[in-house]
Structure 1
Amino acid sequence: MTTATDLNQPTLEHGAPAGRRISLPVLLLIIAGALALTSIVRLITGANGITNVSQMSTALQLAVPIGLAGLGGLWAERAGVVNIGLEGMMILGTWFGAWAGFQWGPWTGVLMGIVGGALGGLLHAIVTITFNVNHIVSGVAINILALGATRYLAPLAFEGHQGGSAKQSPPVDSLGHFSVPGLSDGLESLNDQHWFFVSDIAGLLGGLVTDVSWLTLIAVALIPASWYILWRTPFGLRLRSCGENPVAAESLGVNVYKYKYLAVIISGGLAGLGGVFLSIVANPFYLEGQTSGRGYIGLAAMIFGNWMPGGLAIGAGLFGYTDSLNLRGGSANVHALLLLGALLLIAGAIWLAIRKKYVKAAITVLVGALVLAWYAGTDEVPNQVVSATPYVVTLVVLALSAQRLRMPKANGMQYRKGQGK
């Protein structure tokens, strides 16, 4: 029988087995090292666009919906409910946000988009928690249902309005953007100097304070807010206990059904907010197929982040950055990043050799040599490779990080009230 003491063990409290978490100083050192290596690649290749302010600003904009979807997945799965339906909840968010936004204003659209995603979350909660349907089956069904429902509703809601059609809503007014006075211009000027490391940091920071949407600011604030709620409040501890050991949680008086329902509804609302970002901020209108699989990439970012908000944010940023290569000098930038990939693989091989994992080190060196040969033997990469880069990075990152992952113990398991008696 699990006791109250068990619920406070490091595995639950921190979301990962003790001794396997990366401390903040080490994480910052890793990020600084990666940025320094990127700066070296920039100097060698002359591809200054890979760290300029515009590139980073675009990457942030593309990372936000992915991060919100991943954050939605985090809330649900920390309570033990797998949410494959994030894509469908994002689709509902795009439609509801644009539908309300063009009629009653963008902030009303934001609220209705959250409501639309939350309705998808509520449906997922009823099906999986109350009726114990397989979580994957329910999520896939919600994705299909959301796509079909919006295709049916779009002609009814948008046709006949100026700028509207069966697949597109009328334009929605902007929520507004802002740049930090003085700081934005100063960082951009520093970035234009193309100095080693310093200009790259200026480009990264400049992207965070230049032409930022108010909804972006809200989305970024939700990352530490979620961490605080889930890891520093009694509510968060009870919610996470439902994803680790619901039977033990119930024995301590936790209403497991209530916390699971709340988590999945919040999950849907966050995914819906990600959809709103696409239909009001990224584009000022709803467009069929607008999510383009970002719900699934958000799920991948959550897994890459080991079910932790900070790791999720890094994963969303990585995927947003690779996606931004499609929009700004894609072929030249991706070609430069081949060199970065080769150097990272060689560094990884050295690390594996130090740890006496010689077979893995040899394989890593071989792959790194092939990537380096690809870089040296070409001047650019095909456009198809540029378009596929975000998805390839998703697969590679998940494959490389799989061994350190630790999901909540009861994630995806069926639960009935009183089953521990």
Structure 2
Amino acid sequence: MSTADLATRPPAGASPAAHAPRRSRLRVAGFVAAFFVVLCTVRVLTGADELTSSGTLSIALVATMPIALAGLGGLWAERAGVVNIGLEGMMIMGTLGAGYFGYHYGVTIGVLGAVALGAVGGALHALATVVFGVDHIVSGVAINIIAAGVSGFLAEAWFSGLSGGGPTQSPPLPKPATIDIAFISDPANRLEDKGWFLLSDLASVVEMFTKNLSVLVVLGLLLIVGSWWVLWRTRFGLRLRSCGEAPAAAESLGVDVYRYKIVAVVVSGALAGLGGALLAMVSSSGFQVGQTNNRGYIGLAAMIFGNWRPGGMFMGSTLFGYTQALPFRQGPTSVHALLLLVAILLLAVGVLQLVRGHRRRAIGALVFAVVFLVWFLVTDTVPSDFTQMAPYVTTLLVLALASQRLRMPAADGLIYRKGSAG
């Protein structure tokens, strides 16, 4: 048997398992469609039009992408068997790189600088965990602490005295180019203004992708799709994933496990650095100390919610980005409408668990559904503090609901030594 055997796939129709990925994708698409229909229904029932407006969706997409890129970085590392808690620090380095190189050399060099500094963080994590066998969590936490300190020190050294800058922030940075397709977005905007059920909501989605769309956001979306193709449709990806499932078996077939792990972790850091560039150049006007605001950790949570797959990871990131963006539109009013949405979703989860025979889980979901429904009926708004908490509460809810069917790579987080038995 040779390494080529690792890339061998069973012929079409060979077994029911061969169709499992397709069924999984269809199931995810069905869930997304059902969720969107429920969201449209809540918009009509509550009159909170900002729930699906193109403005809200555009802000949500911009808020989603840094989280999704951090989550994608975590996915690359963990599919190779390396836990990357240091995503937050690598994203911090990305924001710093975008601030310095973007200000002095323009958008393109700024993005490349952010990717390079993120990759340096990934290389340090790979050196510690893969080469020297340091515990993955310890190494990741150390990188986060180091990155926070280095960014604060270098920000003061680089940006103090510059016009518009200061010891904790860079001057305003140039913005990446945007995509505007007026002959599509203008009719979509007119249809959105009609307020029709589902049709106007779909028009909002079309307008989101055709009006003032940053090329960095498009790049992030392409990287998510490209990562799926590379990791699940190429020989390289199969070998890399084998390092996270059974590294000893992969080594016995001639796979250079160390090399694949190092490459995966460096790519992980580069992706997190790109997420930092998006934060500094698209989400805000420039670099600021602390602007990642724990998005690296949220990206890691989104990756776990997505069961270590790009599509599910992006769905989890979108939930966080959407709840983060919504208060910017109608504030507590829109978040109040989310109470009804959460009640409906929990009701659906409870019924599904009941059908599957999980009575205890079903009762828990139904009880919380009643609580959220009563909360929605007896109030008109929600406290501003809860509005700020909504993204984090959403993250906890989705992780709790998804935790029953998760399966991490078998060798994820384990220290590997060449020639070992596991």
TM-score bracket relative to the smaller structure: over 0.9
Deviations 1:49-72 (A, max 9, x none): 000000000000000100110110
1:19 CA drift (Å): 5.7
- What is the aligned partner in structure 2 of residue 45 from structure 1? 46
Contact 1:113/1:273, CA 8 A, preserved across alignment:
yes
Q: Structure 2 matches for 1:223-302, cutoff 5 A?
A: 223-302=224-303
What letter is aligned with 2:145? I
Aligned equivalent of 1:105: 106
| Separation of aligned partners in 1, 2:351 and 2:255 | 49
SS at match of 2:327: coil
1:371 counterpart SS class: helix
Match of 1:385 in 2: 386
Structure 2 counterpart of 1:219: 220
Q: Greater shift after overlay, 172-181 or 270-279? A: 172-181
The amino acid across from 2:207 in the alignment is: G
Distance 1:412 1:345 in 2: 33
Q: How many pairs align?
A: 416
Q: Root-mean-square deviation (CA), in Å? A: 2.1
Letter in 1 for 2:61: L
Partner of 1:332: 333
Unaligned ranges ≥5, structure 1? 11-15
1:2–1:229 CA distance, 2 compared to 1 (3 A): closer
CA distance in structure 2 between the aligned counterparts of 1:30 and 1:322, rounded to whole angstroms: 18
Q: Which moved more, 1:186-195 or 1:380-389?
A: 186-195
Q: Give the letter aligned to residue 71 of structure 2.
A: G
Residue 352 (structure 1) shift:
2.2
Secondary structure of the corresponding residue to residue 291 of structure 2: coil
- In 2, Cα distance between the equivalents of 1:320 and 1:7? 36
- Paired letter, 2:420: Q
Residue matched to 1:90: 91
Partner of 2:175 in structure 1?
174
The offset of 1:5, in angstroms, is 6.6
List per-residue Cα deviations over 1:89-115 (Å, max 9, x = no partner). 000000011101111111111000000
Deviations 1:261-294 (A, max 9, x none): 1100000000000001111121221101110111
Task: Give the direction of change, closer, same or farther, for the CA distance of 1:391–1:9 in structure 2 (3 Å limit).
Answer: farther
State the one-letter code of the partner of 2:356.
Answer: R
The alpha carbon displacement at 1:354 in A equals 2.3
> Does the C-alpha gap of structure 1 residues 176 and 3 become closer, same or farther in structure 2, counting only changes over 3 Å?
closer
Is 1:194 aligned with 2:195? yes
Distance in 1 of aligned mates of 2:315 and 2:193: 25
In the other structure, the counterpart of 2:305 is 304
Tell me the amino acid that sits aligned with residue 222 of structure 1.
Answer: L
Indicate whether 1:395 and 2:396 are aligned.
yes
Kindly report structure 1 stretches of 4+ aligned residues shifted beyond 3 Å.
1-10, 16-22
Deviates more, 1:313-322 or 1:142-151: 313-322
Name the CA distance, whole Å, in 1 between partners of 2:240 and 2:25: 25
TM-score normalised by L of structure 1? 0.94
Is 2:95 the counterpart of 1:114? no
Q: After the TM superposition, which residues 339-418 of structure 1 pair with which residues of structure 2 at under 5 Å, given as runs? A: 339-418=340-419
What is the percent sequence identity of the aligned residues? 49
Residue 17 of structure 1 deviates from its aligned partner by: 12
Query: Residue 67 in 1 paired to residue 68 in 2?
Result: yes
SS of match in other structure, 2:219: helix
**1:18–1:32 CA distance, 2 compared to 1 (3 A):** closer
Q: CA offset at residue 22 of structure 1?
A: 5.0
Equivalent position SS for 1:319: helix
Partner of 1:13 in structure 2? none
Using a 3 Å threshold, how does the CA distance of structure 1 residues 400 and 43 change in structure 2: closer, same or farther?
Answer: same
Q: What amino acid is aligned across from residue 81 of structure 1 in structure 2?
A: V
Matched residue type, 2:107: P
1:26 to partner: Cα distance = 2.7
Question: Structure 1 stretch 27-36 or stretch 280-289: which is displaced more?
Answer: 27-36
Deviations 1:329-354 (A, max 9, x none): 12111100101111111222222222
- Secondary structure of the structure 1 residue equivalent to 2:173: coil
Task: Kindly state the Cα deviation for residue 303 of structure 1 after the two structures are TM-superposed.
Answer: 0.8
Deviation at 1:359, TM superposition (A): 2.8
Residue pair 1:57, 1:207 contacting (<8 A) in 2 also: yes
**1:395 and 1:8 mapped to 2: Cα distance?**
39
Q: Deviations over 1:190-222 (max 9, x none)?
A: 111111111122222322222111111111110
C-alpha separation in 2, matches of 1:282 and 1:360: 38
1:381, 1:8 → 2: CA distance? Answer: 55
Relative to structure 1, the CA distance from residue 319 to residue 90 in structure 2 (aligned partners, 3 Å threshold; closer, same or farther) is: same
Q: Which amino acid aligns with 1:230?
A: L
Range that drifts further, 101-110 or 171-180: 171-180
Aligned-pair distance for 1:3? 10
Please state how far the C-alpha of 1:8 moved relative to its aligned partner.
6.3
Query: Which residue type is aligned with residue 330 of structure 2?
Result: G
Are the equivalent residues in 2 in contact too, given 1:175–1:214 (CA < 8 A)? yes
Cα pair distance change 1:315/1:17, threshold 3 Å: farther
| Contact 1:231 1:237 survives alignment (8 Å) | yes
Is the Cα contact below 8 Å between 2:245 and 2:412 reproduced in 1?
Answer: yes
Using the TM superposition, give the Cα deviation of residue 154 of structure 1 relative to its aligned residue in structure 2, in angstroms. Answer: 0.9
Per mean C-alpha deviation after superposition, the further-off stretch among 78-87 and 317-326 is 317-326
Is the CA contact 1:56–1:208 (under 8 Å) kept in the aligned structure 2?
Answer: no
Distance 2:384 2:357 in 1: 39
SS in 1 for 2:182: coil
Change over 3 Å in CA distance of 1:211–1:205 after alignment to 2: same
Please report how far the alpha carbon of residue 159 of structure 1 lies from its aligned counterpart in structure 2 after TM superposition: 0.9
Offset, 1:37: 1.3
Mapped pair 1:322 → 2:323: yes
Q: Following the alignment from structure 2 to structure 1, what is the Cα–Cα distance between the partners of residues 172 and 154?
A: 17
